[in-house]
Amino acid sequence: MDLRFLKTLVAVAEQGSFADAANAVGLSPSAVSMQMRSLEGYLAAEIFDRAHRPPVLNQTGLALLPTARQLVALHDSLQDVAASVGEYTGRLRLGVIPTALSSFVPAVLAGLTAVHPLVEVQVITGMNTSLFQLLKNSELDAAIIGKPPRLPANLCWNAIADEPICVLARSDLPEDDFKTLLRTYPYIKLVRGAWQLRLIDEQLAKLSIAPRTVMQLDSIEAVALMTYHGLGVSIVPRRTVEPLLNFPLKWVPFGAPPLRRSLGLVYHFGSAKLQLVEALREQIERTCKEPLPRPDGRGRLDPA
């Protein structure tokens, strides 16, 4: 069996059609179709439902996909294993949660590329739970996520930042107590990050606080904008590596005791990509050694 057929199969699954997969792997759609026919012949099984237009993977094809991805990843890692000492080359599959992707990660990747120009980083963004599952399935080489409740013995955790979870409010609101803010003003709920949401909901229940939810958003930046315009208060992590937005907002630690989240780099012990992961870890340390300065002053806003 030609390993290129498996790469094409993965491309079809990721792109959604033979035509889009053809563009991704540099083939014609007819060549993609012929490769998939040959693969089915080798496996002696149909892996596509061709009653659909475009064809889609059937149950057999979906069952084969994780193994196909692993074989392709193992093949791609040969270049890293064969690399000479001190030479960094190959592809690193990195999962990143959105809050990190929109803050310090671009600077980290720019620095990594400058130091090791032969390293290719494939960034996959998603929530903590989904990225952690991809990492456990060896579909990622490393991930920058919140610390999971339980860490398997074959995974290594390197902390990047310890961030307080705060009630976010307009700076001109007179209240400075998180309980009063949540009970007085409408609540803009950040519906992102299952682990973080569970901690917040458990704390709200423990304190008998039932905020009046008026909005649910999946972006901290969007929540900050809504809060800035006086539409309510929210509960979000406060970035310590890089400030969120240059807005006059009030950050009040939430919880009793105050809640925090740990952000870090997690990866497999003994990975074939360990050299690349180590280069990434070193670049993170260089980039995040000092938190970026926050704007001075909280500013004032006219009352709503």
Quickly state the pLDDT bin for 145 (edges 50, 70, 90). Answer: very high
Quickly state the pLDDT bin for 244 (edges 50, 70, 90). Answer: low
Quick check: 56 pLDDT over 70?
Answer: yes
Question: Residue 81, CB half-sphere, CA atoms under 13 Å: how many?
Answer: 9
pLDDT digits (tens, 9 = 90+) for 87-144: 678 889 999 988 888 888 999 999 999 989 988 999 999 888 889 988 988 889 999 9
> What are the tokens at 134?
């991809």
Enclosing H/E stretch for 285: helix 274-287
CATH of the domain at 43: 1.10.10.10
CB atoms within 10 A of CB 135: 22
Quickly state the pLDDT bin for 15 (edges 50, 70, 90). Answer: confident
Which residue matches tokens 């208060």? 233
52: in domain: yes
6: in domain: yes
Pairing of strands 90-96, 119-125: parallel
Boundaries of domain holding 197: 163-260
CATH of the domain at 193: 3.40.190.290
pLDDT of amino acid 3: 86
Residue 166 CB partners (closer than 8 Å, separation 6+): 178, 235, 236, 237, 238, 251, 252, 253, 254
Query: How many structural domains is the chain composed of?
Result: 2
Q: What is the mean pLDDT of residues 211-219?
A: 91
